[in-house]
Each structure stands twice: as C-alpha cells, then as structure tokens.
Amino acid sequence: MERVEQLYSTYAQTVYKYLFSLTQNADLAEELTQETFYQAMKSIHNFRGDCKISVWLCQIAKRAWYRELSKKKKTQSISIDEQALPPDGRNVEADVLYNEEKLVMYRMLHSLDEKTREVMYLRLSGELSFAEIAEILNQSKTWARVTFYRGKQKLMKGRSEWNKS
C-alpha cells in the first residue's frame, strides 16, 4: 500500500496536468486522474519497464480520456443559463471581443495536426516543461520545442489573417 501512495504522490500532478491539457476541465481531469491510478494499480503487474512510469501512466490517462470521449460523444452546447454574465462595471463589448478571439484561437488550435495540437495543449494549458512533454509523447526535448515553436508560428499567422478580416 505504501508503494501505491508513493507512486501517486510522485506522479499525480504530472498526470493531472496532462489530463487537464486534454480536457480543459479541472473536475474531469481530477476524475480521470483517479481513474488512471485505479487502472494502473489493477494492471501494475503488466508494466514491462520499457518506458518511464510517468509515460506509462500518461498512456493510461490518454486511454481513459478517449473512453470518456466515446461515452459522451463530446457534443457540447452551451445554454444561455450556463453562460457567465459579466459583473457590473465591466465593458460588455470588450468581453465579447475577448471571448470571440478566444474562440478563434481554439478553432485554430483544433486545425493543427494532432501531435502539434497535443504539444500546444500540454505546454499552454498543462504548463508542462518541454522535457515533460517529450517524455509523455516519447520524443526528444528538441522535438517538443520545435513542434511547439512551429505550432505557435501557425497560430500567429492564423491570428494575423483573422485580424485582417
């Protein structure tokens, strides 16, 4: 039992950050982190040791996320009740422009290829280092840096084109 607690205390934050970068939802990321460690404990005897434990856990986490996506078919629609109204004293026009720009940025992120998008989410939302991203995706640290840089360049180019219109 002590080994399980040590494994959790060592890697829970990394797994949570990875899942948060995928889900963009703190509650869901927390739930999937728990599921990840549950699945890991059930199958720890299958761990072959051909990769780092953090990579193995993130692979389990990714499968848990895919299972969640297939369960919900991830069709989200935001009702008017769910939309947050700006508090008094805030500029409604600025809020609308900010939200529109954020929406455009997420659309541009989703237009990137899967690996670039994953690196961008891990870096921006998960706040992971390039070394951690490289470890999770079984790539080199240089690959993670270059992929992030190229993704950022594509986003900046797309944003400048959007601003022209």
pLDDT in tens, 12-30: 888 888 888 888 888 888 9
Q: How confident is the model at residue 69 (pLDDT cuts 50, 70, 90)?
A: confident
Task: Give residue 67's pLDDT.
Answer: 85
Least confident of 14-28, 131-145, 150-164: 150-164
CA-angle at 57, arms to 52 and 59, nearest 5°: 100
Give the length of the chain.
165
Q: How far apart, in Å, are the Cα atoms of 99 and each of 82, 118, 129, 156?
A: 15, 22, 27, 17
Q: Tokens 């934050």 sit at which residue?
A: 13
Residue 46 DSSP class: G
Q: How confident is the model at residue 78 (pLDDT cuts 50, 70, 90)?
A: very low
pLDDT in tens, 42-57: 888 777 777 788 888 8
Q: What is the mean pLDDT of the chain?
A: 77
Task: Give residue 82's pLDDT.
Answer: 45
Domains, the chain, in order of start with CATH, read 2-72 (1.10.1740), 91-164 (1.10.10.10)
pTM for this structure? 0.52
Question: What is the rounded end-to-end Cα distance, in angstroms, of the chain?
Answer: 59
